[in-house]
A and B are shown apart, each in its own frame.
Chain A
Amino acid sequence: MSSDTEAKTETKPAAKPAAKPAAKPAAKPAAKPAAKPAAKPVELPAFEKSISDKVVEKFGDKVEVEFVKENRVGIKAKREDVHDVAEFIRDGLNYDHVESVSGVDYPQDKEIEVVYHIGSYSDSSLAKQILVLSTRAQREENPLPGKDATKLPSLRDIFYSVEFHEREVFEMFGVYFNGHPDNRRLLLPEDWADLPPLRKDFAIKGR
């Protein structure tokens, strides 16, 4: 388990009495970036630590190690650097495919996080490992998918396998990927004119 932060337990009782607020019940996780020192003297798994060390050695302050757990390494990069970091992960660390790309909406930070889960087939020592590369895009209050500032560089030229995943994130969160060859809609109906549905301010009916 990763290190817990006691500060968060205080927010819970406050949220309790209003058992079901009508519109947005889950719109308030505590502030994320400040709360992960990752430097607790809990002994970290050695191999996973060596992977995160390599990334930190190469990029220094530009990246932040989010967590080091058994078989999982979390790296956080700024949106300007994510392309370079991904390139290093492929060429320097032998990771070769992306398993999943998921977006997470943080309305109170005004950011949308995009999380890449990167794995490796060709290097057998990395077979267990998943490298979790996350980056954050700016979030707009009134989104205009494709036309506003919610943009990220596409990793499709590095990891070919992100193609459909990034298309899905584009329609579900409105994050436009610069350099993606095919930023079309994938799963939603053709006439979808509402907000991107997985954003937190999109409330589903009856809730």
Chain B
Amino acid sequence: MTAELPPGLAIQKVDERIMTLNVGPQHPGSGHMRIIVQIDGDYIVACDPDPGYVHRGEEKMAEYRNYITNIPHLERPVIHDSCNVLYPYVLGVEELLGIEVPERAKYVRVICSELNRCIYTMYWLAIYGIFLGHSTMFMWPAGDRELLIDLMEKISGARVTHAHFVPGGVRNDLPPNFEEVCLRQVNYFEKRIKEYAAVFYDNPILISRTRDTGVLSREDAIRLGTTGSVLRASGVDYDLRQKEPYDVYEELDVHSNVMKEGDSYARSKVPWLDMMESCNIIRQALQKMPKSGSVRVKLKPNPKGKGLDSVYKRVESGRGSLGCHIVSDGKVEPYRLKLSVGSFRNLIALPYLLKGEKLGNMPSVYWSLNYWPVEADR
């Protein structure tokens, strides 16, 4: 026992009262990660998240592929939010190569990214519902998100993995008649999600399970560096679409949803409010979009950066700010690519929030962090 352990391993001594519980990776309330929880009776005294079950080495693989062939595998971390996860990479490559994007392509990108944000949030909401044992809240969002998936399928041809954004614009133009169909679907979608209030958000069972659990104060949200809905549920008004508008977001009227409470209820409500905001943005973008024009700048084969250079671009994804740090050395492959993802940044709040909570509240706190393990592990 006294032998020297390799780095990364440690022997832990715990109290006899304290029980250590492994939650995951095979657990209905954990997803693809393990949470090592130490409980005293029913209360959690310590919690150690153990991610990495889906660590696939995307960043290493990116160093062996050129800027275009990197596209398909870089959207795999969040396949149901694939436009947003690709967005900062595409923006960064455009800055590295010095490409100007046509106006219509920017609007198409905004529409795709907002549709994808809704698709992601609906899936998240469905899982949140089933975590809390609310079967209706699994069935309704899981069914309604198919409406928007149909729209994305019309645009790109694939259900979830679109690979639609490319450096220099988008891969294809919108199909004919898309504007009317999109407007109709989005209006119906907005009407549907407003009905969720009656069955889920005003439901006294949900309120009693999530109110005042896992409270994250404003100061702690800033100090822990959380992002996205977690941050905005704690009263910090920070939405990158407003603060650092990329593409055409500065021409659109974006409203960010902020709640003061910072508990699980607020964290579960902010994404829902965001979806209505997304519907607004899609309608505005459809109105302001140029009716015709090119959507893509043709690139030369094997585009390269100009010497040693680095960019850091970020966008607001379904899980908060998503940054991409690309270091180029003038070759066709990136020298180093790092994705700074919202899920990974919010993970640090989990041990902090779970301390002192009851074990039964763990799923509601954990999933309210808007966490997608595949993205966090990359």
A15 touches B331 (CB 8 A): yes
A198 touches B60 (CB 8 A): yes
List of A residues within 8 angstroms of B348 by Cβ = 160-161, 163-164
B59 touches A198 (CB 8 A): yes
B327 to chain A, nearest CB (A): 6
List of A residues within 8 angstroms of B308 by Cβ = 5, 8, 29-30, 32, 35
For B9, B51, B52, B321, which residue has the most chain A Cβ atoms within 10 angstroms? B52
Q: Which of B124-132, B178-186, B336-344 contacts A (4 or more CB under 8 A)?
A: B336-344
Complex Cα spacing A107 to B39, Å: 46
Q: Which of A127, A159, A186, A204 contacts B57 (CB 8 A)?
A: A204
B10 touches A184 (CB 8 A): yes
Main secondary structure of the interface of A (DSSP, over half): loop
Q: Which of B98, B231, B330 contacts A8 (CB 8 A)?
A: B330
| B263 located at the interface, meaning its Cβ lies under 8 Å from any Cβ of chain A in the complex | no
A201 to chain B, nearest CB (A): 12
Q: Which of A104, A187, A190, A202 contacts B327 (CB 8 A)?
A: A104
Question: With A26-B335, A127-B243, A204-B64 given, is the CB distance from A98 to B225 under 8 Å?
Answer: yes
List of B residues within 8 angstroms of A8 by Cβ = 307-308, 330
A130 touches B225 (CB 8 A): no
Complex Cα spacing A147 to B314, Å: 35
A29-58 with Cβ < 8 A to chain B: 29-30, 32, 35
A118 to chain B, nearest CB (A): 10
List of A residues within 8 angstroms of B57 by Cβ = 197, 204
| A153 located at the interface, meaning its Cβ lies under 8 Å from any Cβ of chain B in the complex | no
B308-328 with Cβ < 8 A to chain A: 308-310, 312, 314, 321, 323, 325, 327
Chain A: residues with Cβ within 8 Å of the partner, total of: 57
Question: With A29-B335, A99-B323, A128-B243 given, is the CB distance from A204 to B51 under 8 Å?
Answer: no
| B112 located at the interface, meaning its Cβ lies under 8 Å from any Cβ of chain A in the complex | no
Excluding A12-B304, A102-B338, 8 further A-B contacts by CB distance (< 8 Å) are: A1-B98, A30-B308, A97-B222, A99-B345, A159-B225, A161-B224, A186-B51, A202-B60
Of all A-B residue pairs in the complex, the 5 with the closest CB atoms, nearest first, are: A161-B225, A100-B340, A29-B329, A97-B225, A187-B52
| Residues of chain B having any CB pair with chain A under 8 Å | 7-10, 51-52, 55, 57, 59-61, 63-64, 95, 98, 222-225, 227, 231, 236, 238, 243-244, 304, 306-310, 312, 314, 321, 323, 325, 327, 329-331, 333, 335-336, 338, 340, 344-345, 347-348, 377-378
| Residues of chain A having any CB pair with chain B under 8 Å | 1-2, 4-5, 8-9, 11-12, 15, 25-26, 28-30, 32, 35, 71-72, 96-100, 102, 104-105, 115, 117, 121-122, 127-128, 130, 132, 145-147, 159-161, 163-165, 171, 183-190, 197-198, 202, 204, 207
